[in-house]
Amino acid sequence: MPAPSKAPRVDAPEAPAFDGAHSVELTGELTDAQVVAALLEVGGPQLDGLAVKTTTTLGAAAAAALGAVEARVLDVAEAAFAGDAVEALRGALSTNGFLRALRTADPEAFADLDEARAAHDLAPLSLNDDDDEEDEDDDEDGVYCDGEGCEAVLVDDAAVFTDGASDYCGACAARRPGGPELRETTARARVAEVAGDDDSDGGEAP
Ligand SMILES: [Zn+2]
């Protein structure tokens, strides 16, 4: 009798320790080879940030691998590069379509990077930007209920009741004693109204 085939297979690859993490740091006394090997493991479109804080001076091999990393933010502000490594890093950065931002202690070395990227149809990198706060984007699109004691934040298709000056969630609108008539809209529409003709409102579905 054959072995039961229902038993769950457990040969899925072991999830790496950084799975689910948005940022990875490479720290310590790392050789070029170690940096390259580490990058092969951690790179991926899901990676938000990669920070390198080695105590060694990295050469061109590590620099080229770092410059090509599939992450959104590359932080080399605390990494040291040999002379030709800076060139290698810059070269790789100029063709890296994953990257959005770069942090470096030497922004001047990358001053002409945007031009090089433009030649490859890539957007400029933001240099040394404080972009750890991307989560705040979510808040910006919300409508804050003005009901007394209510701190509801309404987003997307949530109903918003407005008199044009104050906005209320459904519960606050319902228990409001009176006053100007309220118009029902959605948080998304209300945000757009308040922002006026918002240029960034392009890709949204109607
Ligand atoms: Zn409310």
What is the per-residue pLDDT across 173-194, written as a single tens digit (0 to 9) for each?
998 877 788 999 999 999 999 8
Residue 134 has pLDDT above 80, yes or no: no
User: How many whole angstroms from 160 Cα to the centroid of ligand 1?
Assistant: 9
* Predicted model pTM: 0.53
Q: Which helix (H) or strand (E) holds 37?
A: helix 32-42
Q: Averaged over 93-113, what is the pLDDT?
A: 92
For the chain, the average pLDDT equals 82
Helices 83-93 and 60-67 pack at an angle, to 10 degrees, of 20
Distance 171 CA to ligand 1 centre (A): 6
* CA of 173 relative to ligand 1 center, distance in Å: 7
Considering only residues 172 and 19, tell me which one the structure prediction assigns the higher pLDDT: 172
Q: 189 C-alpha vs ligand 1 centroid, how far in Å? A: 17
Distance 165 CA to ligand 1 centre (A): 15
Least confident of 54-63, 109-118, 134-143: 134-143
CA distances from 108 to 103, 112, 194 (A): 12, 8, 40
CA 176 – ligand 1 centroid, Å:
10
pLDDT higher than threshold 80 for residue 141: no
With pLDDT > 70 as the criterion, what percentage of the chain qualifies? 78
C-alpha span between 70 and 51 (Å, rounded)? 12
Distance 78 CA to ligand 1 centre (A): 46
Joined together, the tokens standing for residue 3 give 């072995």
Which has the higher per-residue pLDDT, 138 or 127? 127
CA of 174 to the centre of ligand 1 (A): 9
pLDDT of 146 > 50? The answer is yes
Domain boundaries, the chain: 23-130, 139-195
Distance separating alpha carbons of residues 113 and 92, to the nearest angstrom: 10
Residues with CB under 5 A from ligand 1 (ion): 145, 147, 150, 152, 169, 172
CA of 144 to the centre of ligand 1 (A): 8
